[in-house]
A and B are shown apart, each in its own frame.
Chain A
Amino acid sequence: MNTLVIVLSLLAGAYLVAVLEAWLATGRFRLAAPAWAAVALLGRESIVPRTPDRIFFETAPVLLLVVALLVSAVLPLSPGLIIADMTTGALFVNAVLAYVPVALLMAGWGPNGGYALVGGWRFLGQTIAYSMLIVMPITAVAMRAESLLTTAVVTSQGAVWNIVYQPLGFVLFFTAAMAVSFLPPFDLPTAGGELAGGVEAEYTGVRLGVFRLGRMVLVVSLAAVTTVFYLGGWMGPVLPPWAWSAIKILAVSSTMLLTGHYLPRIREAHLLAWCWKLGIPLALLNIFIVGVMVLIWP
């Protein structure tokens, strides 16, 4: 039952995020826009490129969707509303996210096209940039909770949320989460003005629909991870816990989309340089500060 509720919640969240994305793109708020877009995609011919690597080409969109759904398996939306409360939950999130670059590399290699190929390799470089900025802030979150259980991470924020307790970690994780979900300004693998869609460029019809759905679900899943790790998860006054989770997840997703709308795409070399020369030292500093604070003010 929990699985069904969480999967449906994710799909509903992905739909609302798609509405917001369409609103930002066109300037018109239309609640039915994603539904019409989906119908248009389903009605369109699903073209297969001339000489694809068929297994990679067919698997990549599905893999992206599966990865996005798996991330949410260990995230509690309210007490008891979780698919699997694993003792290694926080680590599981990181492990599952390692398959996002796999999906994108397959989507880049599979169609045997120039734009897709460059897009796939670009994401590999992007992975090298953001990976440590996912792992290291999660380490600091687990340090405070003294557990890798995601439910323990939420309850550890009873007195003060992690966004206040470790703001540096939040900024780093939020930025890295945008890079994982290749949202602007980190949309290097899709880059409309540079690669005409990149890893998406050779997909049409149902396959493109699945790919885009996977991306939207990934955005919502990462917003949920941010909520659980930094915004106190389901905690909040008056409203029921699930409502607080929904509000926070939508707020984080919207912030991710809005941030990208007002910034130009980052250069790949700069992304790598900033992540390694600035991001990783800051993440280490965050771990040190949290370590000291856990001793002084658990």
Chain B
Amino acid sequence: MTFARPRVVVTGLGVVSPLGADLGTTLSALAERRTAIRELTLFDARGFAQTLAAEVPDFDVRPFFRTPKALKTADRRARFAVAAAAQALVHAGLTEDGREELGVILGTAGGDLRFPDLLHGLRRASTTDPLDLPHFASQILSGTNPLWLILCLPNMVSAHVGIQTGAQGPNNTLMGDEAAGLAAIGEAALVLESGEARAMLAGGAESPVHAHSWASLQQQNPGLPFPVPGEGAGIFLLELEASARARGARILATLLGAGTAADGDAARAEERAVRTALDRAGLKDAETTRVPRLSDRIGHLFAAAGPVALALATAGAAPGAHILASAASISGMSSAIVLGLPGKEP
């Protein structure tokens, strides 16, 4: 005997991308075949083998923050996530009611370790060996910006989204590079199916354009210009179909299948995640359209890559289409999502 799983639908999309700080601007820029990849401006990258990036253009995030003071503990990825989440809620027409049943699951990477903040403390102790740990603990740490830690913690991204949108349901963070964003959408669907929440904000947010990330990417690609990183956030508002229909929401897509897999061989892991998602959707590969990854236009968005590409594809797909997005990280974690768009109205 099997139990029918409650259906999960997409009712809102929020995108902050290097091509624009909202879904509409990004779609227009894509239609005009624009690229956002150019010489980076956020830090001095001379000395690294890569000096290009796809940066999100400046935009005013303050309207998205209920408490302006929170901005000082919100780094770029948290700001993008809050903006994208707010857009998804507006897009879905979700009112302020019921926010205790609204949850958040986002994929992101470790944040910027903020070398200048650490160096500030180290510089205070220039006559002492900075590797003297007891000295570091007793003297140097007190010279470090007290906001340093909460600016770089990965779970602060979901926390800021929860606080600024008033979402008081389950709140979680997935770390797993490229795979994390789509995996967050699959996890959010499980939360909805379990009845723990009525609606979930799910997706990914990244801002890897900083010295710490450049250092780690350079180590992975010694002496080579590594793939151009980009920044942004893609967030879906997912709801149980019954709740969405009950409030008369416009249904943008139905979540037909989700899959995750891990394997030492990333390509094999991705293949298995895709197969799982397709099996759950009851579809064959040929019956779906692969979501384009867009990294040649908006850079590598890591955990945000899958959700941003999937959100843009959802907004642009033909009625009745089945779209498939997948991602794999170098650690071998992978994830896939299949969405079905509503057919033409009879």
| Mutual binders A and B | no
A residues lining the B interface (CB < 8 Å): none
B residues lining the A interface (CB < 8 Å): none
